[in-house]
Structure 1
Amino acid sequence: MATGSQAFAQEKAPEFSNDLMMDNETYTFFIADRLEYSFISGPNPLVWDAQGYIGKDFNKVWFKAEGEALTVGKEAEMEFQGLYSRAIDPYFDLQAGIRYDLAYSRNFNQSRAFGVIGLQGLAPYFFEVDGALFVSEDGDISANFEAEYDLLFTQRLIGQPRIETAFAFQEVEQWSVGSGFNNVQLGFRLRYEIKREFAPYVGISWNRKLGETADFTRLEGGEVGTLGLVGGIRMWF
């Protein structure tokens, strides 16, 4: 009969597997932060802004999609991103990948691709921030930054101020983009969370094109600034 120590030595430890690690689960997440209809002067657009990921604690694959389509006429602008994301601290991820833009109307159809490097996470005081630098297939460099914050009036009634701006280092006339700051968007949305995962909202949105980008818009007969009400749904799972 083997002694206790001999029996212990003869036991075979199980082969190592990541599945044994309680913190090595694969997670999936999707959120449509904005799925809304805008009430502005002129044609009213549908706007969407969604993103999600699949991956583990430190490494994930993200996708992001946003765009705007007019409800009258065939005209839309869309942006898609596919990114590899690596956690660099408990609150921020470093992201890199590709972006693809598509714009079309009755008279034209164009697209372009970018390389992307960005930073996304939760800044001090619980501001959600997302900033990225883009280099197009033609070597044009631009950047984008957005931030939002949740104000809890009650456990279900939540206000969300939001700001977004974009900057271009070169003029890209084909896309009506001037050098410098292109635009600024400010908004405030008030949502009621019927469930945490589903919340209708109403709000106000202001969008102003700046500098050379505003000049391009005027030449094309477009509106440089818009102010309007929005209504939509925020959902996640």
Structure 2
Amino acid sequence: MNIHHRISLTVLAVALALASNGNAHAQHDHSQHAAQSEAARPTTGAQSHAGHETKADADRTGQAVDHSTMDHSQMDHSQMDHSRHSDPSPVDHAAMGHGTPATQAPIEPIPAVTDADRAAAFPALDHHAMEHAPAINRFVLFNRLEAWDADHGTGQAWEGSAWIGSDLNRLWLRSEGEREGGRTEASDLEAMYGRSVSPWWDLLVGVKQDFRPADSQTWAAFGVQGMAPYKFELSATAYVGSGGRTAATLEAEYDLLLTNRLILQPLIEADLSFKDDPQHGVGTGLNKIEAGLRLRYEFTRRFAPYIGVVHERAFGNTADYRREEGEPARDTRVVVGVRLWF
């Protein structure tokens, strides 16, 4: 063998030796990387999503994972690796509602109602110790007690009412009149039975006795009184006397509260007759209208002095009868008085 053949064999042996070492190193490196990958891969116990596909599985199969259909109640959250979460605090899965029984008892259960609780809520009533309003009541009101300066001295007038009875049935007394120069010009008294027909209205039936002017006379009376909408107090009464005489009286008043104690009271009253009565100075039709405006101050609800102005005017034959007696057909006067009730 010549020198050239020896050199070629030597080079071939060195090349084979180098190739053998390279394959061994490559196999060693790949085995280490495989071991490291297996160590880093999470075990089946750490991600125990029974019956679910992982994201890697979904990527391999090419199908998206529908989390809305996943049954999280079967997930083993106790084995999950929470170390990769940014929040180091533990997760309260019970508060998240996973696996909470529907019939779980409240934290502070409501105690059952006992007989003692019922007795305390609904105590027995002692009717003998309760105060009831009396069945019979009474009320007296002097709406006007007033005086004024007249041509022949001073004048006085009154108008009042009183009742006694129950809420439904009452006996009513009403009276009004005038005096001037020490002489009674007019006065009357009514006694009537009143029956409540609504919370605001009463029907009245009874008798009326006129004492002045001239001779006294008696009337049968029928009427209605009460409070209309907007708190207007109304009264309408018809009278039937002897000899076919008939008459009627209409009255309306209203209390306008300027303050809690200062009250302005407008009032209007109209008298009608359906037959001439010269003896009493009354003509047919509208006899007279009286309109007043009184301002009172209530020191108490029971006692209220007032000052006001009153205008009175007669019409038709009634005005003629007054002129024949030397009296004016119309008159305006300033009055002072007091309103009281008890």
* TM-score, normalization by structure 2: 0.60
Is 1:48 the counterpart of 2:141? The answer is no
1:16 is matched with none
2:194 is matched with 85
* Matched-pair contact (CA < 8 Å) for 1:40–1:229: no
What amino acid maps onto 1:52 in structure 2? A
Q: CA deviation at 1:138?
A: 2.6
Q: Distance between the aligned counterparts of 1:158 and 1:62, measured in 2?
A: 26
Alpha-carbon distance change, 26 to 131 in structure 1, aligned in 2, over 3 angstroms: same
Summarize the alignment of residues 57-206 of structure 1 with structure 2, pairs less than 5 Å apart: 57-70=167-180, 72-103=181-212, 109-206=214-311
Q: Distance between the aligned counterparts of 1:137 and 1:27, measured in 2?
A: 35
Any gaps of 5 or more consecutive residues in structure 2?
A: 1-129
Q: CA deviation at 1:24?
A: 6.7
Q: Distance between the aligned counterparts of 1:91 and 1:73, measured in 2?
A: 39
Summarize the alignment of residues 205-220 of structure 1 with structure 2, pairs less than 5 Å apart: 205-220=310-325
Q: CA deviation at 1:82?
A: 0.2
* TM-score, normalization by structure 1: 0.86
Q: Distance between the aligned counterparts of 1:174 and 1:155, measured in 2?
A: 47
Q: Distance between the aligned counterparts of 1:128 and 1:176, measured in 2?
A: 29
Q: Distance between the aligned counterparts of 2:177 and 2:246, measured in 1?
A: 20
1:235 is matched with 340
Q: Distance between the aligned counterparts of 1:76 and 1:221, measured in 2?
A: 14
Is the partner of 1:88 in helix, strand or coil? strand
What amino acid maps onto 1:152 in structure 2? L
Q: Distance between the aligned counterparts of 2:131 and 2:316, measured in 1?
A: 53
1:31 aligned to which of 123, 141, 150: 141
Q: Distance between the aligned counterparts of 2:131 and 2:208, measured in 1?
A: 34
Q: Distance between the aligned counterparts of 1:228 and 1:74, measured in 2?
A: 18
Q: Distance between the aligned counterparts of 1:42 and 1:118, measured in 2?
A: 36
What amino acid maps onto 1:77 in structure 2? A
Q: Distance between the aligned counterparts of 2:168 and 2:184, measured in 1?
A: 39
Q: Percent identity?
A: 37
Deviates more, 1:133-142 or 1:37-46: 37-46
Q: CA deviation at 1:44?
A: 2.9
| CA RMSD, Structure 1 to Structure 2 (Å) | 1.7
Q: CA deviation at 1:216?
A: 0.8
Is the partner of 1:212 in helix, strand or coil? helix
What amino acid maps onto 1:33 in structure 2? N
Relative contact order (C-alpha < 8 Å, sep 6+): which is higher?
1
Is the partner of 1:174 in helix, strand or coil? helix
Higher-Rg member (1/2): 2
Alpha-carbon distance change, 23 to 47 in structure 1, aligned in 2, over 3 angstroms: same
Q: CA deviation at 1:95?
A: 0.2
Alpha-carbon distance change, 43 to 182 in structure 1, aligned in 2, over 3 angstroms: farther
Q: Distance between the aligned counterparts of 1:161 and 1:75, measured in 2?
A: 25
